[in-house]
Amino acid sequence: MSSEDRASSEGSSSIYRVLDEASISRKHWVTVITAGMGFFTDAYDLFIIGTVTAILTPLWHLSTGQLSLLNSISLLSSVFGAIVFGRLMDQLGRKAMYGVEVSLLVLGAVASAFSQSFTELLIFRIIVGIGVGGDYATSAVITSEYANKRDRGRLIGTVFAMQGFGLLAGPLFASILLSTGVSHAIAWRVMLGFGAVPAASVVYLRRKIKETPRFAMHIKGDAKSTAEAIRWTTGEAVELASVDSPGLRNPRRARLSDPRFTKRLIGTAGTWLLMDVAFYGNGVSSQVILKALFGAKASLLHNTVVAALIFLVFAIPGYWVAVRLMDKVGRKRIQWQGFLVMALGYGIIMVVPGIVKVPVLFLVIYGITYFFIEFGPNETTFVYPSEIFPTSIRGTADGISAAGGKIGAFIAALLMPTIVKNLGLPDTMGILAAVSLAGVLLTVWALPEPMGKTLEHASGDVDQVEGEPHKQVS
Question: What is the domain-level CATH number for residue 41?
Answer: 1.20.1250.20
Residue 467 within a domain: no
CA distance 73 to 88: 23
Q: What is the pLDDT of residue 354?
A: 78
**What is the chain's pLDDT, residue by residue, as a tens digit (474 residues)?**
444 444 444 444 556 788 888 888 888 898 898 888 888 888 888 778 878 988 899 999 988 888 878 888 888 899 999 999 999 999 999 999 998 999 999 999 999 999 999 999 999 999 999 999 999 989 999 999 999 999 999 999 999 999 888 877 887 888 888 888 888 889 999 999 998 888 888 888 888 888 998 998 888 888 888 888 888 888 777 665 544 444 445 545 789 999 999 999 999 999 999 999 988 766 544 555 666 566 666 666 666 677 777 778 888 899 999 999 999 999 999 999 999 999 998 898 889 877 767 777 878 888 888 899 999 999 999 999 999 999 999 999 999 999 999 999 888 877 877 787 788 777 888 899 999 999 999 999 999 999 999 998 999 887 633 333 334 333
Q: Is residue 67 part of a domain?
A: yes
Q: What are phi and psi of 330, to 5 degrees?
A: 105, 150
Given a contact cutoff of 8 angstroms between Cβ atoms, the answer to whether 31 and 146 are in contact is: yes
| pLDDT at residue number 158 | 95
Residue 462's DSSP bridge partners are 472
Amino acid letter, residue 368: I
The DSSP string of 105-134 is HHHHHHHHHT--SHHHHHHHHHHHHHHHHH
Contact 309, 348 (CB under 8 A): no
21: phi then psi, degrees, rounded to nearest 5: -95, 0
Please tell me the total count of domains within the chain: 1
Domain membership of residue 114 (yes or no) is yes
On whether residue 368 sits in a domain, the answer given is yes
- 42 vs 324: CA distance, rounded Å: 23
Residue type, 309: L
Q: Is residue 456 part of a domain?
A: no
Which of helix, strand or coil describes residue 11?
helix
Question: Tell me, what DSSP letter sits at residue 275?
Answer: H
Q: CA-to-CA distance for 444 and 265, rounded, in angstroms?
A: 14
How far is 348 from 364, CA to CA, in rounded Å?
12
Instruction: Assess if residue 145 is contained within a domain.
Output: yes
Enter the DSSP assignment of 211.
Answer: P
Distance CA 136, CA 160 (A): 9
Domain interval for residue 303: 3-243+255-447
User: In this structure, is residue 472 part of a structural domain?
Assistant: no
Q: Is residue 414 part of a domain?
A: yes
Reduced to 3 states (helix: H, G, I; strand: E, B; else coil), residue 252 is coil
What backbone torsions phi and psi does residue 435 show, to the nearest 5 degrees? -60, -45
Burial degree of 2 (CB within 10 A; 0-12, 13-18, 19+): exposed
**pLDDT at residue 294, rounded to an integer:** 63
Cα–Cα dist 176/195, whole Å: 16
| pTM reported for the whole predicted model | 0.85
